[in-house]
């Protein structure tokens, strides 16, 4: 029996705060649901908006103690670090350019960080953050949430076990359509900051969703990217960042791949898809049907492995809450990252404690790699698609 309650490991929920995520934001609410789903986290503090009125109203709506609704993340880090009942972790859900200063503040205050992706808006910040995180002794969890889907774990496990043989071809794609027209021109908040290089960094579609596709490919295959050749385009007039990225990939060891990220492909919502082919078989997974994984052993009939069904292993099982055929979705996958974070934080509560090897989440190193991927794409594209080392 798949145990819906298995993540509830007792000793009281983990107190956490949030930076960003006030009214009008999107991803903040997703983080709160993900944190709440297994009862592992309790939201007790926030610097929810850079706009004081919005910050206050947002805190009230969420039932925060007004005293713990802060005007800035710096103030929050300082104040919470002093409290005996202060937060153990912070979720950073601001636009990209604020990730670095906020994460720095909390790590320095001895508080675990759960941070949205891409990790920073430039590679220099990313490297500094990695160094900082390493020194801090605190946890850094990057919410590349698609790695939380059970069948993504299943795929990773199968590759690691050699079921596919030696990998040859990796096809990753993440098409969307929401920026087909100039939505940022209407003032829509999500579109505005995502197409603004000051807030997003150098990558548009590349940074927002290309990093997801890249991270997913890396997570499942375990392959290291050697170099890439990119052709980035801003199809919508007046858009300063790419809204379509065509990228060729060369992995260490000889595997090759393609990555396509687009925000201008009508009919695509969040059509993240990964296909991996090796000498012995292939795997195909789509985010919009996340409970299914196609396994295609060479010379045998194709198999559809379902979450919790026959053929699904332990790596998927420990990420599941309900029986097969009852679909789990985006929020459950996101919550799995929080569940893994909770396990790691609980382990860290014990002096020098570490979570087991089966506890897996994207880290600050994945964050550095993601930002390096974006910068390499931009660099290659500016050099007319020259092969560029990561």
DSSP state of 224: P
Instruction: Please select the residue that binds a copy of itself; options are 50, 122, 192, 296, rule is CB under 8 A.
Output: 296
Task: Describe the crossing of helices 330-349 and 150-160 by its angle, rounded to 10 degrees.
Answer: 70
For 258, phi then psi, to 5°, come to -130, 150
Distance of closest approach, residue 364 Cβ to a copy of itself, in angstroms: 25
Q: Which stretch binds a copy of itself (CB under 8 A): 55-63, 95-103, 121-129, 352-360?
A: 55-63
d(CA 123, CA 207): 12
The answer to whether the Cα torsion of 153, 155, 156, 157 is positive or negative is positive
Closest listed residue to residue 266, CA positions, set 244, 285, 283: 244
Distance of closest approach, residue 351 Cβ to a copy of itself, in angstroms: 24
Q: Per-residue contact track with a copy of itself, 355 to 384, x per CB under 8 A? A: -----------------------------x
Q: Which is nearer to a copy of itself, 136 or 171 (CB)?
A: 171
Q: Which of residues 230-249 bind a copy of itself (CB under 8 A)?
A: 231, 233, 235, 244, 246, 248
Q: Which is nearer to a copy of itself, 222 or 323 (CB)?
A: 323
Count of beta carbons in the 10 Å neighbourhood of residue 363: 17
Q: Which of residues 112-131 bind a copy of itself (CB under 8 A)?
A: none
Count of beta carbons in the 10 Å neighbourhood of residue 188: 13
Q: Which of residues 328-347 bind a copy of itself (CB under 8 A)?
A: 328-332
Q: Which is nearer to a copy of itself, 130 or 278 (CB)?
A: 278
Q: Which of residues 57-76 bind a copy of itself (CB under 8 A)?
A: 60-63
Q: Quick check: 208 binds a copy of itself (CB under 8 A)?
A: no
Q: Quick check: 37 binds a copy of itself (CB under 8 A)?
A: yes
Q: Which stretch binds a copy of itself (CB under 8 A): 81-89, 132-140, 217-225, 304-312?
A: 304-312
The residues near 163 (Cβ < 8 Å, ≥ 6 apart) are 280, 281, 295, 297
CA distances from 374 to 12, 119, 223, 240, 357 (A): 39, 11, 18, 15, 29
Closest listed residue to residue 111, CA positions, set 142, 144, 78, 143: 78
CA distances from 274 to 146, 169, 190, 293 (A): 11, 11, 26, 10
Q: Which of residues 129-188 bind a copy of itself (CB under 8 A)?
A: 168-169, 171, 176-177, 180-181
Q: Which stretch binds a copy of itself (CB under 8 A): 67-75, 83-91, 280-288, 336-344?
A: 280-288
Q: Quick check: 251 binds a copy of itself (CB under 8 A)?
A: no
């Amino acid at each position: 029996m798949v145990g819906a309650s298995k993540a509830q490991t007792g000793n009281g929920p983990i107190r956490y705060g949030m930076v960003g995520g006030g009214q009008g934001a999107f991803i903040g609410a997703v983080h709160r649901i993900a944190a709440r789903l297994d009862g592992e986290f309790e939201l007790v503090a926030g610097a929810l908006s850079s706009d004081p009125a919005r910050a206050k109203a947002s805190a009230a709506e969420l039932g925060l103690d007004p005293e713990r609704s802060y005007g800035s993340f710096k103030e929050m880090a300082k104040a919470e670090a002093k409290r005996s009942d202060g937060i153990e972790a912070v979720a950073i859900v601001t636009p990209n350019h604020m990730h670095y200063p906020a994460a720095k503040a909390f790590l320095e205050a001895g508080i675990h960080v759960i941070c949205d992706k891409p990790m920073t808006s430039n590679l220099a910040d990313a490297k500094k953050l990695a160094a900082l995180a390493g020194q801090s002794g605190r946890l850094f969890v990057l919410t590349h949430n698609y790695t939380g889907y059970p069948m993504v774990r299943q795929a990773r496990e199968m590759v690691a076990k050699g079921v596919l043989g030696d990998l040859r071809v990796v096809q990753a794609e993440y098409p969307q359509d929401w920026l087909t027209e100039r939505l940022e021109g209407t003032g829509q908040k999500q579109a505005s900051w995502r197409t603004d290089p000051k807030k997003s960094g150098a990558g548009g579609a590349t940074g927002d969703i290309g990093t997801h596709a890249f991270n997913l490919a890396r997570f499942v295959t375990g392959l290291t990217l050697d170099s890439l050749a990119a052709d980035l385009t801003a199809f919508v007039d007046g858009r300063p960042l790419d809204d379509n990225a065509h990228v060729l990939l060369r992995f260490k060891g000889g595997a090759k791949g393609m990555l396509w990220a687009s925000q201008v492909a009508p009919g695509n919502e969040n059509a993240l898809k990964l296909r991996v082919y090796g000498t012995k078989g292939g795997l195909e997974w789509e985010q919009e049907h996340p409970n299914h994984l196609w396994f295609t052993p060479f010379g045998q009939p194709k198999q559809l492995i379902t979450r919790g069904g026959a053929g699904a292993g332990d790596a998927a099982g420990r990420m599941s809450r309900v029986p097969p055929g009852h679909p789990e979705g985006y929020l459950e996958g996101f919550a799995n990252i929080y569940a893994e974070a909770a396990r790691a934080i609980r382990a860290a509560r014990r002096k020098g404690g570490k979570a087991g090897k089966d506890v897996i989440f994207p880290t600050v190193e994945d964050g550095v790699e993601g930002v390096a991927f974006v910068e390499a794409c931009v660099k290659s594209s500016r050099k007319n698609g020259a092969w560029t080392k990561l």
